[in-house]
Chains A and B, each alone.
Chain A
Amino acid sequence: MCLLKVTGLTKTFKNKKDRVYALKGIDFSIKQGECLGLVGESGCGKSTAAEIIARLIKEDSGTIEFNGAYITSEKRLKCVGRDLQMVFQNPKDSFDPKYSLLESVMMGADSYRIYSKIELIKRAKELIKYVGLKESYMYKGIGGLSGGECQKASIARALICSPKLIIFDEATSALDVSVQAQIIDIMRRLKEEKGVSFLFITHDLALTSSICDNIAVMYSGRIVEYGKCRDVLCNPKHPYTKQLVSSVLPVNRRCDIPEFNALRDTQYAPKGCDYYAFCPNADEKCFKNVLHMFQIEGRSVLCCHADD
């Protein structure tokens, strides 16, 4: 059974002058205990999707089914409640610096009142140990923690109500490699021991391969490729995914960084492919045709030439 099912989600931001189409209809699903990676360049709508699912902002159209119930029409936050938690990119900004670590972690359960005070303290202490923070930090102010430690604290806070799904919104992007590896280690343990599902948003493709089961590549508000993580990364079909994969700098060998596709002089085509302006093998068909998802080799690809 699907834990989270998103269908046809759209969102438009209105500016003074024009409209920004942040999401142009995306579909994906996450099963219990699964991890979905949502990747793409800055400004492609990844975070907007996450915020809508967490009910921080309201969508224009589309449905979200979470834990067997439709949450799209409901009022904010309360409907997803303790089963869905979020970990943000900048951990320091997501805490109130005047509280101690223990208080900050306990605050995650404040609005649900499911534990007694003694139970709550016990749980918080266990979780702080679980994510690998020193016990001596327990009563220290959260402001004194480093970026990596703060991120671990925010994972502990997200875990306090034993959620079913945790959304990681670029949670490892601001951290250096060794701390990043520690966070990945915590995620793997959670997945195996507690069966927590993840929606892992990142622009680091290499990172998704070590934790995600499925991967959805986003470009300009649409999912352009969606399938098993290994398949998509080892054998990308969409020209955008190909470019993204070739941009990852390998550590163990030197690679020739490819020439980047030049921008084609074009106008925005409301029906056609968003990647038309950069795609090396685009033609008239891509500009005029209505986009369709193709099913090839167990994955969906949004490209007119995918089956060539």
Chain B
Amino acid sequence: MLDIKNLNVYYGKTHVVRDLSLKVNDGEIVCIVGESGCGKSTALKSVLMLDKNASVTGGSIIFNGKDITKLNASQIRKVRGSKIAMVFQNAVLSMDPTKTIGSLFCETVRAHNKKAQKADCLKKAEDIMKKLRLWETERIFTSYPFELSGGMCQRIAIAAAMMNTPQLILADEPTSALDVTAQAQVIRLLKQVNKNFNTSMLIVTHNMGVAANLTDKTAVMYAGRIMETGSTDDIINNPSHPYTKALINAVPEMNGKIPEAIEGLPPEFNDDTAGCPFAPRCSMSKDLCYKKLPQKHILSESHAVYCNYCYI
């Protein structure tokens, strides 16, 4: 359904996303994982052309047969919120503090259907919220975003994203600002949305637990490039790329395992090295890694890795 091919994004002269290719099929949940500042969020925002400072210079984003990069502003606006909806990291800040949640729901519908009546919108919102097991709809509709807790707002943002029954939801770190209980609830809710409405999702996160428990496919990003893609089971249980392995080892677990830090720091975005961007921090790197950019190596039908050595 969504097919990103060789996407390149620049902020001014800074090359942030490099040759990103990613596919999202019908009813699938795909996630992008990686450290802060590796270009995950930029890649996600460029799907809807949300960032004015970012310029998409190469590649294509095909959604239902149409190339989004070639649409003009008013055409994109028709796609935003109706076909593709977005859930942001900080839900409280993404809502207008001068409007109640009820009018937020109405506005979401009216942006694409001017004739919609308020009562119908609220009825629809109530149905969706009931399906997503959000009770107390009356109280929620009359509240302002700042009167509700962060976890509640995040769940409402997901319900609001569902108002126009989109085919695809983009979520940018939907659980990073929440504590563990609220996080588990939001993940449960996203799963329900996927099951009840067959909505596809593209999620950006740095939490490997979220990736492991929610998604079907995972792409690991580092310094603007994809390092490894595959089904989530493959990535978590059978990682190939040294970076994926290091990332999984850095996650603390309940059994008292000591998380292992990755030595060194991610490279600057303007660093145009010829070789693999991870080579300076990699425990396996050899001379070739500094000279040659790794090509895609297909390990199995659903699993591919960009590394010079680890596929051997």
Contacts and interface: CB of A to CB of B under 8 A. Distances in A.
B259 A260 contact: no
B58 interface: no
A180 B252 contact: yes
Contacts of A209: 252-257
A244 B213 contact: no
B186 to A, nearest CB: 10
B183 interface: yes
Interface residues of A, number: 43
A147 B266 CA distance: 13
B230 interface: no
Contacts of B196: none
A176 B212 CA distance: 16
A250 B184 CA distance: 11
Given A176-B35, A181-B262, A252 B236 contact: yes
B260 A249 contact: no
A209 B251 CA distance: 12
Which of B182, B248, B252, B255: most chain A Cβ within 10 A? B252
A247 B186 CA distance: 11
A260 B259 CA distance: 29
Contacts of B91: none
B254 A41 contact: no
Nearest to A42: B179
A52 to B, nearest CB: 21
A257 interface: yes
A233 B180 CA distance: 14
Nearest to B206: A176
Contact of B259 (A42, A181, A253, A255): A181
A253 to B, nearest CB: 8
Contact of A250 (B35, B180, B185, B212): B212
Given A185-B261, A249-B210, A257 B188 contact: yes
Given A146-B37, A244-B180, A188 B253 contact: no
Interface in A251-265: 251-255, 257-258, 260
Nearest to B179: A203
A115 B195 CA distance: 64
Contacts of A253: 212
B254 A181 contact: no
The 4 A-B pairs at the shortest CB distance, nearest first, are namely: A249-B209, A181-B259, A247-B184, A181-B261
Given A206-B254, A210-B256, 14 more contacts: A41-B182, A178-B247, A179-B261, A181-B262, A203-B180, A204-B180, A245-B254, A248-B180, A250-B212, A250-B254, A251-B248, A253-B212, A257-B188, A258-B184
Interface of A: 41-42, 146-148, 175-182, 184-185, 188, 203-207, 209-210, 229-230, 233-234, 243-255, 257-258, 260
